[in-house]
């Protein structure tokens, strides 16, 4: 139970430092709903987490009210981002920016990882009914990625590589899935060759990011 409260505490500290980090709560809550459905509302642990999240957020809420919701105006109305005063175009360039962080070697691995999600998307009804839990991790990765793209492209309409660091985590996980798919394919023919190819890909990807 201590871990639950620490999770809420450090989560609040994170988005109090930089508000868009609150986006990580979206995949967490959506995932819980998909897994538990409405039975999650009867879960005492869930409500303890929500209550602790609210209690830890009180100083931040007081700050927001005391500044007359200034940061909300900055993010959503005008200033550096916003839907009303800034007049910015939708930030579709952010797709390319997020990929450029990975560099070419990891981009290829990421695309291969995306291809592994096709079965998850096609078999979403299996995930929804929880007949088979093999898609759970893949759905969580998608829920981690999609809200961030939606926020930075359609709401904030701006980003830089520093802001997208949280997005690189699920992207690198997918890149790892892509590499594993290559390894599993090559292993059928030769395990030694499979290990050699993966080692080359890992070294090349690491070298690009030095």
Report how far residue 126's alpha carbon sits from residue 106's, in angstroms, rounded to the nearest whole number. Answer: 30
Task: State the pLDDT at residue 112.
Answer: 92
Residue 55's domain spans which residues? 1-66
Q: How many domains does the chain have?
A: 1
Q: Which residue has the tokens 């709903």?
A: 33
| In-domain check, residue 172 | no
| In-domain check, residue 14 | yes
| In-domain check, residue 134 | no
Q: What is the pLDDT averaged over residues 77-106? A: 75
| In-domain check, residue 46 | yes
The string of pLDDT tens digits covering residues 101-149 is 888 889 999 999 999 998 888 888 888 888 888 889 999 999 999 999 9
Alpha-carbon separation of residue 179 from 114, 128, 146, 173 (angstroms): 11, 27, 22, 10
The answer, yes or no, to whether residue 88 has pLDDT greater than 80, is no
Cβ–Cβ < 8 Å for 90, 154? yes
| In-domain check, residue 39 | yes
| In-domain check, residue 121 | no
| In-domain check, residue 189 | no
The string of pLDDT tens digits covering residues 118-130 is 888 888 888 888 8
| In-domain check, residue 93 | no
The tokens for 27 are 């995949």
């Amino acid at each position: 139970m201590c871990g639950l409260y620490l999770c809420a505490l450090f989560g609040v500290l994170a988005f109090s430092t930089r508000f868009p980090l609150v986006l990580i709560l979206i995949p967490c809550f959506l995932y819980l709903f998909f897994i538990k459905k409405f039975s999650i509302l009867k879960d005492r642990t869930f409500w303890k987490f929500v209550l602790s999240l609210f209690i830890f957020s009180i100083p931040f809420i007081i700050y927001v009210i005391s500044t007359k919701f200034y940061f909300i105006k900055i993010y959503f109305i005008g200033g550096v981002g916003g839907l009303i005063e800034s007049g910015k175009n939708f930030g579709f360039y952010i797709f390319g920016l997020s990929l450029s962080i990975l560099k070419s070697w990891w981009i290829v691995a990421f695309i291969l990882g995306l291809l592994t999600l096709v079965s998850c998307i096609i078999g979403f009804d299996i995930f929804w009914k929880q007949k088979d839990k093999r898609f759970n991790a893949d759905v969580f990765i998608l829920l981690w990625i999609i809200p961030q793209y939606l926020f930075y492209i359609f709401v904030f309409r701006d980003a830089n590589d520093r802001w997208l660091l949280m997005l690189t985590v699920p992207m690198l996980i997918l890149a790892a899935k892509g590499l594993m798919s290559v390894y599993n394919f090559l292993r059928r023919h030769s395990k030694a060759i499979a290990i050699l190819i993966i080692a080359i890909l890992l070294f090349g990807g690491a070298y690009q990011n030095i």
